[in-house]
Every structure is written in structure tokens, then in C-alpha cells.
Amino acid sequence: MTPASDAVDPAPVLVLDHLTRRYGSLTAVDDVALRLPPGARHAVIGPNGAGKTTLLNLIAGTDRPDRGTIALNGADVTRASTAKRSRLGIARSFQQPSVIGELTVLDNIVLAGWAHHPKRRGAWRSPSRYRLHTESAGRHLETVGLAHLAHRPASELSHGQRRMLDLAAALAGDPRLLLLDEPAAGLTDGDIGRLLDILGALPESVAVVLVEHHVEVVAQVATSVTVLAAGRVLVTGPTGEALAHPEVRDAYQNTAPVSGEAPDLVTGSAPDPVTRSPEARG
């Protein structure tokens, strides 16, 4: 199978080379290579314990590789701090959203925008900059469908809404690369539908790396997929090809599911992901 790439081969936004992370005798991420063009929609899937979250942690900088390199827009960020990576354009949305409940929904995003601003220390004292941040925060709330709740305390939001707020906070830094850690986990079918709309409407300038168990989300959002198994890349390629690869089914079938969240690829019993009906969702 050919690696995910564009015919014109634009300068990649993210390049991973020989990326390896060991925990004692366990190699959680094993010699992983990946090259993503700007605006990529790339999913990382694999059975429980395959190394997906570790890979995301390495890219975000919350964990460091034992071997290999990470380049963002041509700059080597392998040893860069999370703060520097964030300034260079990496943003991450978490499974457990980091929302400040005492602040309004809007101010959560204003704050996130400020945190990314190069002159953030003086920004509090500038009314014009506050207005700009507020306007931009309002746009991000519209993107994630929370504009009508802008002035409510964030503590009033449901789990699904908090996840959308966390996504808006990630977008507030105008990232070039957005890392999404199981964005559909714990969402209702309605929220997943909204999430799909939001992800479908993200600007093309933002590349997305998505770790996700819900195969229908992967099938609809991702144009390319890396399948990890025991830390190694089993397959990388266009989504349809990667999901249909016989080794992928084998890898899932040989792995006992840890959670009961019905990630169908884990059970190995899914029909074609592109044609799954909403009724079949777990």
C-alpha cells in the first residue's frame, strides 16, 4: 500500500521519522514514520494498547521519544517544549476537556486565545486587543455551535458541550495541526453528528490527527489512516484501503477489547464502515 501523500507533494506540516518510545521492556511506539501534508485529515487507529495515545503525546510534547524525530513545518521540534510547539501551531483537544467552570463560555475561549498570543502579557491591558479576541472567540463558538451559550457559565455545559468548548479553545490559537484525542468518546449520537459537522467545516489550513475508536467518525472525517498494532505501523494509506486491509481485521480480532464502548473494529464484527447505519452505532 502506498503512503498517504498528495500528487503535488506540498511541504509537509508534520514528519515523524523512526519515532520510538519505550517504557522499560515495552516499546509503546516502535519506529513510526509519518508524513502529513497541510490540511491532512489523518486518523490513527489500532487495538487497545497499540500506542495511539503515546504517539499523540509525543507529537504534542507531553512525552519524549527515545529515538527518532518530529518535524513541524520543517522545524525539528523533537526536543521542543509543549509551549513552543503550541506557539508553532500544534493544538490538542482532550478526552477530558479542560474547561474553567467559573468563567463564561466566551471567556474560556478569550483566555485560550490570549494564551497563544505572542504579546500575551500586555494583552490584558489593551481594550482593542480584548475586543479582537472577543470577536474571534465568538467566531470559534459559532464554529462549534455554542454561540447561543456564550454568556453562560461554562459549569452549566453538558459533557458534549464541554468537549465542543475544548475544541473551540484548541482552535483559538489558529493551529496548523490539531490533535484530537478520541473526540467522539462519551458523546451521544446527536453530539457525534454535530462533531462530524464541525470537523467537516474546519478550515483546510488546519491539519488534523485524530485518535478515534468510532469507525464511522474515522470513515467520515479521515482521508488517510495509520493503523498501529503493538506500537508499529501496520498500514498507512487512504482510509478505505487501510480499513479494508486484511491484516487490520486480524490485528483487532487478536486483541481483547478493554472497554465496552463498542468500537466495532475492536470486536472485529463491523460491516463496511462507510455503509454502517446509524442504528448500528454503539
Residues that bind ligand ATP (CB under 6 A): 23, 26, 28, 46, 48-54, 258
- Candidates 72, 88, 140, 84; CA nearest to 112 is 140
E strand or H helix that includes residue 229: strand 224-229
Nearer to ligand ATP, 28 or 40 (CB): 28
Confirm if 227 and 233 have CB atoms less than 8 A apart.
yes
Nearer to ligand ATP, 23 or 188 (CB): 23
Instruction: Give least dist CB 54 to ligand ATP, A.
Output: 3
Nearer to ligand ATP, 48 or 253 (CB): 48
- Identify residue 272 by its one-letter amino acid code: D
Instruction: Give least dist CB 50 to ligand ATP, A.
Output: 4
Nearer to ligand ATP, 82 or 158 (CB): 82
Instruction: Give least dist CB 198 to ligand ATP, A.
Output: 23
Residue 34 exposure: Cα atoms within 13 Å on the Cβ side? 33
Nearer to ligand ATP, 107 or 166 (CB): 166
Instruction: Give least dist CB 276 to ligand ATP, A.
Output: 20
Confirm if 158 and 187 have CB atoms less than 8 A apart.
no
Instruction: Give least dist CB 94 to ligand ATP, A.
Output: 13
Confirm if 159 and 94 have CB atoms less than 8 A apart.
no
Residue 165, C-beta contacts closer than 8 angstroms, at least 6 positions apart: 97, 99, 105, 108, 109, 144, 146, 154, 157
Separation of alpha carbons 111 and 117, rounded Å: 10
Instruction: Give least dist CB 123 to ligand ATP, A.
Output: 35
Nearer to ligand ATP, 22 or 87 (CB): 22
- Candidates 221, 268, 252; CA nearest to 50 is 252
Residue 260, C-beta contacts closer than 8 angstroms, at least 6 positions apart: none
